[in-house]
Amino acid sequence: MTEPGTAPGTPTGWLPAACNGGHAYRDRMDRPWPSVVGYYAEHYGHSEEPIWRQRLAAGEICHNGQRLRADGPLAAGDQLVWHRPPWQEAAVPVLQQGAIVFDDGDLLVLNKPSGLPVLPAGGFLRHTLLAQLEELVEGAPRPVHRLGRFTSGLLVCARQPATRAWLSAQLRDSTRIEAGDAAAQDTCEKLYRTLTGRLPAAWIPGHTQMVSTPIGRRPHPLLGRIWCAVTPEEHGGLSALSRFTLLERRPEACLVEVAIATGRPHQIRIHAACLGAPLLGDPLYGPGGQARPEALPGEGGYRLHAHRLRLLRLDGSPLRLEAPLPMELAQVSERL
């Protein structure tokens, strides 16, 4: 059943697919470029040069305030604007009032539904958590970090810039998850639950494994470049550390808890694949943490939930929060 005014087949509680008003992408040259088309093909890798030539011919690109019709060189300081025409955004879940887990007037924590992008990207402009948050909550809170579109659970937001900066630093790099580290109780902790493929038979419930494979960008035929596992010797790789703990073996999958000490793009998906057990249903990352050439990061099919969070507020006091588990991510014993 759908709500009045929604498209047929759109689930209740979802914002139906709709056309937006287009968007202006603005760029300023930090150095000379031999051509407008070459600049866009280099910086917006989702489209190759022939597509940018078509957009140029269609009058979608302005140079220093003047609409362009032909390619040409660019000087340092020149300004470009690509006026992208309106496009249809896919249906997404509606952020419900009950999604607010904590709100002290500055710090706001939400239980994000799976399927809702946090910020504009990947074909989404208005169908985002940010846009819905602006309508639902007073005070203009903004997300401090990102969760993938199909990752559910705890998302931290804040109204004041100083609070966002304080929290961002904690969520990005301050978690200590080494076994036996007593100092971890005084730092941020991020715990996720997910279903992976079959882990090694030697793993029994309670077994823990650290993964420290760096994460960097490599070429991808659909996006230009994409985040995936890289070797320590590769230039530009970011250090990343995750701790996987087996909770339960099931006939088709393994239920695991994941603690992350860093917040790299797609870190849990990549590190699970590095273990040889990609997230169940993940269309993008295969064994070894490499991206499949035919898939995109925004495609769903997996289940990943930001379950528990411990962080320090700006005044130094600790805050512990939990987002209820989806049924399929609860242990059998927890359902009884």
What's 50's domain CATH number? 3.10.290.10
Same domain flag for 197 and 216 = yes
Residue 294 lies in a domain: yes
Please provide residue 103's backbone torsions phi and psi, each rounded to the nearest 5 degrees: -155, 115
What's 251's domain CATH number? 3.30.2350.10
Same domain flag for 324 and 267 = no
Instruction: Give the separation between CA 59 and CA 78, rounded to whole angstroms.
Output: 18
Q: What is the pLDDT along the chain (336 residues), one digit of tens a residue?
A: 334 444 455 556 899 999 999 999 999 999 999 999 999 999 987 788 999 999 999 999 999 999 998 999 999 999 999 999 999 999 999 988 789 999 999 999 999 999 999 999 888 999 999 999 998 888 989 999 999 999 999 999 999 999 999 999 888 765 666 644 544 455 789 999 999 999 999 999 999 999 999 999 998 888 778 999 999 988 889 999 999 999 999 999 999 999 999 889 999 999 999 999 999 999 999 989 999 999 988 889 999 999 999 999 888 899 999 999 999 999 876 765
Contacts of 181 (CB under 8 A, 6+ apart): none
Contacts of 307 (CB under 8 A, 6+ apart): 153, 154, 191, 192, 193, 257, 322, 323, 325, 329
Contacts of 15 (CB under 8 A, 6+ apart): 91, 92, 93, 94, 127, 132
Structural domain containing residue 103: 92-173+305-335
Q: What's the pLDDT at 238?
A: 94
Residue 15 lies in a domain: no
Token pair of 86 as six digits: 């309106």
Instruction: Give the separation between CA 100 and CA 154, rounded to whole angstroms.
Output: 9
Same domain flag for 191 and 285 = yes
Same domain flag for 109 and 163 = yes
Contacts of 235 (CB under 8 A, 6+ apart): none
Of 70, 85, 100, the last residue of a domain is 85
Strand partners, 108: 103, 157
Other Cβ atoms less than 10 A from the Cβ of 65: the count is 7
Same domain flag for 309 and 297 = no
Instruction: Give the separation between CA 165 and CA 335, rounded to whole angstroms.
Output: 39
